[in-house]
């Protein structure tokens, strides 16, 4: 019990416990939600998938499973995230546009039906096609005035057989944020030429298609909208948090009286500050 209380004082977020922060706004203090809260930000997302001969049939199925897992992590809809798919090898084929599917089930079934193309890895051509035909208003992309991000995720296992630097730069200049995922034999230099900066956030590599699903959680974090610092006015939530912290306060005071728990000066300062915020929050609620 003693150890848990010390952790709460030092860093309540370690246990997912809401903590008071001294952020003042309009002469009032507000209770902040934990950092773990997160939701999908609506985006126009186009997958650009390499299906050249080097991608074996079983590996292509794994790539499609990754896309389906990605769809599962997002809020799909006409007013939420829209998804399109560009398939490429020596030729480029738009499998479906952003305006086609607005529910997860239909979208995942469409992904499952996609077949690999042939030999060749014309990545530059695929990016150009996505920019000119998949990210247009006619294709279902939303206008810039709606402040909806345009995102392309490229998945490839080889070296492009055409130029990617200039067309990728043009795509980024048009407002498309590019993520490059390399698998197995993928050329890292080419991935960096395609991806948006900073590369640490936009270039990924996995050794095989068998483990590509491990990137799902990473993209879930990347493509979600962090709700840090969002003000909550949920009275029930506030009351429950205040009651909990009052119990903690009472327990700590009892332990101190019995000389069981001793706080360092810094810990005591943090503790007293938190209790003052607690009293103020109780007064305002």
pLDDT tens-digit readout, 56-67 = 999 999 999 999
Per-residue pLDDT band at 26 (split at 50, 70, 90)? very low
Residue 253 has pLDDT above 50, yes or no: yes
Residue 285 has pLDDT above 60, yes or no: no
From residue 254, alpha-carbon distances to 2, 8, 61 in Å are: 11, 16, 61
Residue found by looking up tokens 């902040």 in the block: 32
What confidence tens digit (pLDDT) does each residue in 165-189 have? 999 999 999 999 999 999 999 999 9
- By mean pLDDT, which of 25-29, 50-54, 135-139 is the weakest? 25-29
Do 164 and 190 contact (CB within 8 A), yes or no? yes
Model pLDDT, residue 264: 59
Q: Walk me through the domains of the chain, giving residue ranges and CATH numbers.
A: 39-226 (3.40.50.410), 236-285 (no CATH)
Per-residue pLDDT band at 257 (split at 50, 70, 90)? low
What confidence tens digit (pLDDT) does each residue in 122-154 have? 999 999 999 999 999 999 999 877 889 999 999
- The rounded Cα 247 to chain-centroid distance in angstroms is 36
- By mean pLDDT, which of 5-9, 13-17, 162-166 is the weakest? 13-17
End-to-end CA distance of the chain: 29
Per-residue pLDDT band at 206 (split at 50, 70, 90)? very high
Model pLDDT, residue 89: 96
E strands, 36-191, in order: 38-40, 43-50, 82-88, 92-96, 149-156, 176-183
Is 14 strand, coil or helix?
helix
Cα separation, 26 vs 239, whole angstroms: 22
Do 177 and 154 contact (CB within 8 A), yes or no? no
More confident residue, 228 or 40: 40
């Amino acid at each position: 019990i003693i150890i848990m209380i010390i952790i709460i004082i030092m860093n309540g977020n370690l246990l997912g416990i809401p903590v008071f922060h001294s952020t003042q706004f309009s002469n009032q203090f507000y209770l902040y939600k934990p950092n773990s809260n997160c939701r999908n930000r609506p985006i126009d997302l186009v997958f650009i998938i390499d299906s050249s001969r080097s991608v074996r049939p079983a590996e292509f199925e794994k790539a499609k499973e990754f896309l389906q897992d990605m769809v599962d992590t997002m809020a799909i809809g006409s007013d939420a995230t829209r998804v399109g798919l560009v398939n490429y090898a020596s030729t480029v084929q738009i499998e479906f546009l952003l305006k086609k599917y607005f529910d997860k089930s239909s979208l995942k079934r469409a992904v499952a039906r996609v077949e690999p193309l042939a030999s060749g890895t014309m990545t530059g051509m695929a990016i150009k096609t996505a920019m000119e035909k998949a990210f247009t208003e006619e294709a279902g992309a939303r206008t810039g005035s709606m402040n909806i991000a345009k995102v392309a995720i490229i998945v490839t296992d080889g070296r492009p057989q055409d130029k990617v630097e200039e067309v990728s730069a043009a795509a980024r200049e048009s407002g498309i944020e590019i993520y490059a995922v390399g698998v197995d034999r993928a050329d890292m230099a080419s991935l960096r030429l395609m991806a948006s900066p900073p590369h640490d956030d936009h270039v990924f590599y996995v050794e095989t298609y068998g483990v590509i699903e491990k990137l799902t959680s990473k993209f879930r974090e990347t493509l979600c909208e962090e709700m840090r610092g969002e003000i909550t006015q949920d009275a029930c939530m506030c009351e429950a948090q205040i009651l909990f912290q009052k119990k903690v306060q009472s327990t700590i005071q009892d332990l101190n009286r019995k000389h069981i728990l001793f706080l360092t000066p810094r810990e005591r300062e943090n503790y007293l500050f938190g209790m003052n915020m607690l009293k103020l929050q109780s007064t305002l609620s």
